[in-house]
Structure 1
Amino acid sequence: MAFFMMPFLIGELGDHWYGVWTVVGSLAAAYHLFDMGMASAVTRYVSKAFGAGEDEQANQVINTALLIYTCIAMVIIAVSFCASFATGWLFDIEQDRELVQLVVLIIGLSIAFEFPFNALAGVASAKLKFHQVAAVRILITILSALLNWHFVSSGHGILAMAIITFSTARLSNLLYFLICKRAFSGLRFGKRYVNRAMSKDLFGYSLWSFVIAIAYQMRNNVDNFVIAGFLSAASVTPYAIGLRLVDYLAQFLSQATNMFIPIFTAYHAKEDTKELNSKLLFITRLNLVLALIAGGGLTIFGDAFITRWIGPDYDIAYWVMVILLTGRMIGFANHPLNSALYAINKHKIIAKLDVIEVALNLALSLILVQFYGLIGVALGTMIPLLLLRLCFLPAFACKALNMPIQDYYLCMLRPVLVLCPLLYAAYLMVSSSQELESYAAIFSYASLMAMTTGLIGFKLSFSESEKQHLRKLLPSPKLNFLL
């Protein structure tokens, strides 16, 4: 839904106000750092309690977390007032200072009120209520989009968007609570369930997750502040266009393959290192094939698509997209290493590398933005990601997993040799075409390219034993001939 709303909002709000809204969103995302990795800890301990049939212990986790989250919410409220007061230092918006300050305050309060519901993290997933949570998210997304369309088109601007965000978030929180309450009929609230020892366990588990969360938020949002500070709020908009397309693709791919931590954990518990490493290499190759096909397609058709989607005045957004996409797809390809390190409780390696990456990202972006503008900021993000994800993460992870590092790099070689020539040929064919002026033409060519490269890529990139695993994922045995 956000995909369809973005060109509408840019057209209605203009580059300046859409840029302001984007930076406010980045500030709001930074508030989630106050979670301190607690949600992952709550999920883990609630799931463990349910697995042992200990409803009393699950209530202790939830109520202890609720007290912690309530305190955090109060801190966020105080920080929101401070951030609202300080907003004028970031933007040159003297005439609309009070409006932006009010928007920042509303968004901050919205997130603060959301935090106590994080105490229920793990209830829905442990009780396998994914479909209900997904349905609520879809409902709230559609409702929010419709309300934004109505009020923004009526000229109410970002203040209306902030109020809509606040209101729909409360509805989402209520529905999520009802799902958890129905899933866990034994849910109880009360002071007697608060457990000091449990709070120590939660904080102890969440430490490295918190460090990773900090790095994640800074990696995703620091660029917007650099651009707004050194260039202008309006300059955030074309950068956001390129970044948004990369985010859409990365989120889509992650939903398809980001489910392997339990699998790796099971092998680790059995001390079956050989099978763990074998599955890791297979999933890495699968991720790389998907990254090459999807990332290559977006690179080939992205320029024409942005022109049709947003307009012809955002050429710079395409190059921002290509640079960021390069780094993000490498990160997606070796994301199974992250999952394996979480499974063997070595995720502090990820945390340390993420901190280094963010520091390099910020330093390079601050330097390069002064010489190359938006392109410099994108390069400042991509270079550390490539360096650390291609070199350092495999080296440390393979050592922790007792896997020869050459096995890891060799598993990635075949997909690169198979797909890169195909993608280059497709690029040459598309670049010579003058017909990519409509969505129908863009999606027709893109579908043809995806099917062709996908069929050839999957046939030639995997061993016969790996194809057997892939055939199990096909919806019908009649499709086995594709592999």
Structure 2
Amino acid sequence: MNTSARSGLATTKQKKMPAESFSRRITRNILWNIAGQGWLMLMTFLATPFMIGRLGIELYGIYVLVGILVDYFSFMQFGIVDASVKYMTERLARGEPRRVQETFWTTMLSQAVIGFAGALTILALSAFLVDHVFRVPEGLAQEVRLAVAIGAATFPLSMVTGVMTGTLRAVGRFDLLNMIGIVWGTLQTGAAVVLLWSGLSLAALLFSNLCIQLLCLVTLGIAAGRLLPVAMPPAWSTAEMKRLLRFGGFITVSGIVGPILTNIEKIFLSAIRTVSALTYYHVPFSLVSRMAVIPSSFSSVLFPAYSHFQGKNDMEANRSLHLRSTLYLLYLFGAPLLFYVFFGRDFLAWWIGPDFAEASSAILIILAAAGLVNAVAYPSITLLNGAGMPHIPAAFHVIETVIYIPVCYGLIHAYGLIGAATAWSLRVVLDMLLLQAASCRYLGLSIPQWYFDVLSRGLPPLLACGLALWGIRELRLEVLAPANVIGCLLVAAFYSYIFWVKILDGRARESVIGILQRS
């Protein structure tokens, strides 16, 4: 049976799939995302103290800075990948394999060309950035230039990899996507540890990342070729490109300003203060951003799900999905927030060292609270994009950028690390309020009533667990003292019980039980 026929059969089954089965598929995909990203987060958690110890504060800061620089240029996707996920999902549901091929190859070719252009741009700017923007310690400038050059070479791979991961998202194969990510992500972290343990430094580490990313891309390409009817000579469609850009244009606006909103405080820190200050900020920021695995796991599944229900004109399903996902994220992200608030300082002292904890513990608490606020905005921005209204988040992000840049610069200049964390927190609060108001309006919901529905169910358990953790902390025990560990485990068990019984609805519980029974 050829690939087109397989796609057609899958589409027919998809059309007949009852809502309950679709709900189970959404739940399964979210669980796969959390498992996959959670594993990679664990690898990073274990490797970070070793990497900081081997590289030193300054070189680790440069390693972070190269990642930020390359990540910023991801705006050059122009929203095309997200648009391709939306259109491939809808066309698979309608049984249009030829149009799926058209979307895939147009996206692939455009991202490859743009990726090479982006790499050349990064290389052209590298000398200026190293010499005039970043406060690089004397003697490290040459190593930083080499690091930026290797980082630039990874950019085309990242762009094309985005197309492949988008393809697996469109067909709902989050299991395969995460298994591939686990294998190559583990190898990447393991290779970094081995190279640094062998005495090699930053350039070798970045080159290893480049090679592993190339192998991961090949694996994803093989998987995409088996799941979609894409094994044809590459074909370009100008009409399809225009369609992708029309949808992706507004996402591009968010793509341009998004890295500014996420990373500008780190750039300001390295320019106004020092590269070492960036390390003291980035480590707690990375702890919080790694927890974004929870909302991003929801978001990557919700985007095609929202598009699916919009295509069926089922507004009630989207209302339910939006409310439930926001409530789940409030509760799931609330757990690490409570831990960092009450035990963040002790945790950093145990993980990195007491001097590091002294400099970064307050930053961790501020950013953890902001991370919770940011997490509960994910379902709203995903809804607006999935419903074909990316211009609304784009407009919000432009407004936020105009406000954020001067406020961020002023707070960092006056208060340093605390100013950076405060600026980012204020920005995500504004973002959350705007996005949730817009999504409620689109769904025809009363904003005060919607907030009441979420907070009345989500806040009481959070407050109860917070009170219990406060009591444990006031015992002033060592962080790994048996009584401390047992107390925290009991709170976690109670928290999990409340989540299962009171927060999850009946359909979600049935979906989880069904998945566990089948596995």
Q: Could you tell me how far apart the structure 2 residues matched to 1:478 and 1:82 are?
A: 52
Match of 1:414 in 2: 456
AA partner of residue 353 (structure 1): F
Using the TM superposition, name which of 467-476 and 156-165 deviates more. 467-476
Q: Judge conservation of contact 1:357–1:385 (CA < 8 Å) in 2.
A: no
* 3-state SS of paired residue (1:336): helix
Q: Structure 2 residue aligned with 1:317, among 349, 360, 363?
A: 360
1:133 CA displacement:
2.5
Q: Could you tell me how far apart the structure 2 residues matched to 1:355 and 1:312 are?
A: 40
Q: Could you tell me how far apart the structure 2 residues matched to 1:388 and 1:99 are?
A: 38
Alignment CA distance shift 1:330-1:439 (3 Å): farther
Match of 1:469 in 2: 507
AA partner of residue 168 (structure 2): A
Match of 1:18 in 2: 60
CA displacement, residues 77-100 of structure 1 (integer Å, 9 cap, x when unaligned) = 321221322222213334222211
Q: RMSD of the alignment, in Å? A: 2.8
Match of 1:104 in 2: 148
Match of 1:141 in 2: 185
* 3-state SS of paired residue (2:301): coil
Match of 1:277 in 2: 319
Alignment CA distance shift 1:403-1:236 (3 Å): same
Alignment CA distance shift 1:477-1:178 (3 Å): closer
CA displacement, residues 275-325 of structure 1 (integer Å, 9 cap, x when unaligned) = 543443333233222233332233222222111111111223221121112
1:379 CA displacement:
0.3
Q: Judge conservation of contact 1:422–1:453 (CA < 8 Å) in 2.
A: no
AA partner of residue 136 (structure 2): D
* 3-state SS of paired residue (1:363): helix
Q: Which has the higher contact order (CA 8 A, sep 6+)?
A: 2
Matched, 1:294 2:336: yes
Q: Could you tell me how far apart the structure 2 residues matched to 1:114 and 1:334 are?
A: 26
Using the TM superposition, name which of 10-19 and 423-432 deviates more. 423-432
1:272 CA displacement:
4.4
1:449 CA displacement:
1.6
Q: Judge conservation of contact 1:84–1:102 (CA < 8 Å) in 2.
A: no
Alignment CA distance shift 1:63-1:473 (3 Å): closer
Q: Could you tell me how far apart the structure 2 residues matched to 1:455 and 1:338 are?
A: 29
Q: Structure 2 residue aligned with 1:212, among 254, 257, 261?
A: 254
AA partner of residue 433 (structure 1): L
Matched, 1:340 2:378: no
Q: Judge conservation of contact 1:106–1:162 (CA < 8 Å) in 2.
A: yes
Alignment CA distance shift 1:264-1:117 (3 Å): closer
Match of 1:154 in 2: 198
AA partner of residue 40 (structure 1): D
Q: Structure 1 residue aligned with 2:392, among 342, 349, 362?
A: 349
Match of 1:364 in 2: 407
Q: How many residues align?
A: 472
Give TM-score, length-normalised by structure 1.
0.89
AA partner of residue 469 (structure 1): R
Alignment CA distance shift 1:32-1:472 (3 Å): same
Structure 1: 5+ residue stretches without partners: none
Q: Structure 2 residue aligned with 1:170, among 185, 210, 214?
A: 214
Match of 2:78 in 1: 36
Match of 2:112 in 1: 70
1:104 CA displacement:
0.2
Give TM-score, length-normalised by structure 2.
0.83
Alignment CA distance shift 1:342-1:441 (3 Å): farther
Q: Structure 2 residue aligned with 1:330, among 373, 380, 392?
A: 373
Using the TM superposition, name which of 174-183 and 419-428 deviates more. 419-428
* 3-state SS of paired residue (2:103): helix
Q: Structure 1 residue aligned with 2:224, among 173, 180, 186?
A: 180
AA partner of residue 475 (structure 1): I
Match of 2:429 in 1: 386
CA displacement, residues 378-401 of structure 1 (integer Å, 9 cap, x when unaligned) = 0011012213423x3333332222
* 3-state SS of paired residue (1:189): coil
* 3-state SS of paired residue (2:476): coil
AA partner of residue 138 (structure 1): I
Q: Judge conservation of contact 1:418–1:457 (CA < 8 Å) in 2.
A: no
Structure 2: 5+ residue stretches without partners: 1-42
1:375 CA displacement:
0.5
Q: Structure 2 residue aligned with 1:125, among 159, 169, 172?
A: 169
Identical counterparts, % of pairs: 21
Q: Could you tell me how far apart the structure 2 residues matched to 1:113 and 1:472 are?
A: 40
